[in-house]
Structure 1
Amino acid sequence: MKKFKSSRESRVSITELMLPSHSNFGGKVHGGHILNLMDQIAFACASKHSQSYCVTASVNRVDFLNPIEVGELATLKASINYTGKTSMVVGVRVESENVTTGEVKHCNSSYFTMVAKGKDGKNKLVPGLILKTKQDIRRFARSKERKQSAFKRDSKYESNNFKVNEYLEFLDGENVKMDFD
């Protein structure tokens, strides 16, 4: 296995016709179906990069920007944005295309942290990432900063670190009522 790979070597994409069986009660493609496809392509991309079985460790923020209609083509594109020792951040972009008009819409993007597993089930080292473009560096830096921010946020809100009095002002103007028993 190579010690380093470019994101281009692991890039994958899929296109799937959205069927009535994929729709929700509002007649649009169900977000859960899209999330399932996103997880599958993140797995494929991470597995291709690491040459290993991979598991999803986390998903960072999924904003549904535009609905996907039944009968449209959904295209998902995935590439490695960041590599750690055993983990990878896979950027996933979802677009829909109206087959009769040719209109293409960006529907959502998200970032999946995937962890490579060895045959013994333990975390396995992954190849590093070769950064070839300014875009590669931007994506790597953004992923690293997102990871550091999440760690700071998580530790800041742990029960033993949380100081209620420092956050009471956050409640001003919110749709909450304090009722301590």
Structure 2
Amino acid sequence: MTGIFRSSTADLSTTVTWALMTSVICWACSIKANGVLGWLKGFTEPVVVMTPMNLVSEIAQPISMAFRHFGNIAGGNVLTSLVYSALATASAALLGLVGKSIAIGILILLGGVALLVLGVRKKKLAYKIFGAVFAATGILSLLGLAGVPYLEVGIPGIMSLYFDVFSGGVQALVFSLLTMVYVSNACPPPEEG
């Protein structure tokens, strides 16, 4: 939201470290449960011909986990940047147009108030939000503060909050759940006798 900080998982080194730790935990659990020879024998199952594919699968697991998590967060950062740029252009165009005429400022203010009233009557959040934005634009224009690029502050801030906090947290949860699945597959529970 500040433009200074970014999600730690938008850095590939963080996700690679997580993925390598997951793989090491899986290997350690499997070695603990089956012994070193049993773990190595597991690469030859179900048939010996599958050994190369099983080795590739062990190498691909951390790579897949690291890039999946990194890609989701980095993609969110790219989307936020693109929306921010588009809103900067829209803000400059809109506020430049509004700042040139008091009549346009009054029309935008009245339209915003009308949307706010309609939003309250119909209980529609979108009407309330757009009404507040238009009313604020009209007021800024009438006060001579039409150069404030407020479109660049609110919407990218909300998107950044989503991608950095919520999505980063959800991705970390998914990563943890995948780790638990991989560890449980590497070290199944003992059979009941």
Instruction: Name the TM tier (shorter chain).
Output: under 0.3
Looking at secondary structure, tell me which structure has more helix per residue.
2
Looking at secondary structure, tell me which structure has more strand per residue.
1
Larger radius of gyration: 2
TM-score (ref. length: structure 1): 0.23
